[in-house]
Amino acid sequence: MKREGNEEVDQDFAAKLAAHLGFEEEKVNHLFEKKYLAWNWGEHEHLLRFDKEISHIERGTVLYEKDGAFEMVLGFPKIRRAMVLYPTLEKQFSGLKTVAVEEKMNGYNVRVARINGDILAVTRSGYICPYTTERAKVKLNLSFFDDFPELVLYGEMVGPDNPYVPKEIYNIESVEFYIFDIREKNTGNPLSTARRREILEKYGFFQVRSFGEIPLETAPEEIAKIVRELGKIEHEGVVIKDPEMVLPPVKYTSSRSNCSDLRHAFKFYNESGRDYMLSRIVREGFQAVEWEESEADFKKRCMQLGESILAPLRESVRSVKEGQRLYDEVRIRVKTLKTAADFEDYLKRLGVDAIFEPPLPAGDEYLIMVRKVNKSTNDKTQAIWEGELW
Ligand code: ATP
Ligand code: MG
């Protein structure tokens, strides 16, 4: 079977995979051709990745052969955003008495599982990140996977030693995994919030903060209060869940975190997703109405929103005009320099233009600063300064 190019797929393998997924063989071939199904590379070349949602199989799902059959670690399902709390919660959670409210932490989404004997950390898109994998092995109580080989931990990797979403707001010195979900391999069925918390406690995992189960009736009011408080300390917001994890969760974020997302998004305006930017702007309009704010508070919101869009834009436009390159500076902390080298290769492979500074010893680990160059925003801004049209 050819693993690099995807164009030629061993037909026995395709047939076996088709039978497993309940697809026509032709469909499997088509998925390979379109690269919706793609192999990982290097030591993980035997792991397939869904690059698109296919027939209810989440994007980012990882699939591989195990004991002559297949096994899947499902992608983390998209969480829809509530623009207003009332009547959204009533409608989305209709039939429930209470909802479980948890803090939504701001880092990056990781799945950790035992895959054919190895503990691996999988990113949202289904890649095996060497940095995250090393951190998972250092940070997590791995005996969990001896006891529950069929379960997958879903969590947020948060803290400053973070190559994707570095944040100083959680009083974390380096980086930690905060688990928010446990699901079964193959089916993706989640554990109830109570069972999940019980297991996580037993193994001593960090878990996202719980605000408890709140009656659906009073939830909009109570959650508005919680989110206002979280906003004050620059925390992101909440995820509201069916305690049994049958109905899909809903997220709701603070204005402060919206603005902080926008600041980053507009700094690198040409690489940021349009929907990502637009949903966060539109949300401010809905929140302004729902929270019935005074004219003075509204003016404040306008200023904050406007500044979080324009200030980074002005900064980027000016920097490029003055001949500087735009980049994101992030930091990683590794046990071995091999992890850093593997991570450097990994980013290159993903097309991220990153410059790794020389490692600085930190205890028995190393700190490495990484500059991620945002080529697309650089090039676009440069072109505009050279007289090109939008
Ligand atoms: P989505 O994940 O909904 O596709 P997105 O990539 O824009 O959208 P966010 O807006 O950050 O992501 O919101 C969802 C993400 O929040 C999840 O993917 C997960 O990584 C993260 N998260 C943080 N805390 C929690 C929590 N308590 N429960 C569920 N997810 C959480
Ligand atoms: Mg996030």
Residue 9: per-residue pLDDT: 81
Residue 7: per-residue pLDDT: 53
Least Cα distance to 64 among 11, 24, 27, 118 occurs for 118
pLDDT > 90? residue 309: yes
Residue 166: per-residue pLDDT: 94
Give residues with Cβ within 8 angstroms of 55, minimum separation 6.
21, 23
pLDDT > 90? residue 93: yes
Round to whole Å and give the CA distance between 206 and 201.
Answer: 8
Which ligand is nearest to the Cα of residue 164, counting in written order?
2
- Mean pLDDT on 299-323: 97
Q: How far is CA 361 from CA 53, 140, 187, 331, in A?
A: 42, 23, 43, 13
| Domains identified in the chain and CATH numbers | 11-73 (3.10.450), 255-321 (1.20.58.2250), 327-385 (3.30.70)
pLDDT > 80? residue 187: yes
Best of 251, 252, 279 for a ligand 1 pocket test (most atoms within 8 Å of beta carbon): 251
Residue with CA closest to ligand 1 atom 9? 79
Rounded distance from Cα 21 to ligand 2 centre (Å): 30
Best of 156, 169, 192 for a ligand 1 pocket test (most atoms within 8 Å of beta carbon): 156
State whether the Cα torsion 256-261-267-273 is positive or negative.
negative
Residue 8: per-residue pLDDT: 66
- pLDDT over 70 for what percent of the chain? 98
Residue 2: per-residue pLDDT: 46
CB-count burial class (<10 Å; 0-12, 13-18, 19+) for 373: middle
Determine contact, residues 41/4, Cβ cutoff 8 Å: yes
The structure tokens listed for 342 are: 């593997």
The binding-site residues of ligand 1, defined as CB within 6 angstroms of any ligand atom, are 76, 78-79, 102-105, 109, 156, 180, 208, 239, 251
Round to whole Å and give the CA distance between 209 and 107.
Answer: 14
- The bridge status of strand 98-104 relative to strand 37-39 is unpaired
Round to whole Å and give the CA distance between 200 and 205.
Answer: 5
Instruction: Read off the pLDDT band of 1 (50, 70, 90).
Output: very low
- The bridge status of strand 118-123 relative to strand 176-184 is unpaired
pLDDT > 60? residue 4: no
pLDDT > 90? residue 342: yes
Determine contact, residues 101/86, Cβ cutoff 8 Å: no
Q: Which of 4-18, 251-265, 323-337 has the least mean pLDDT? A: 4-18
- Mean pLDDT on 48-61: 96
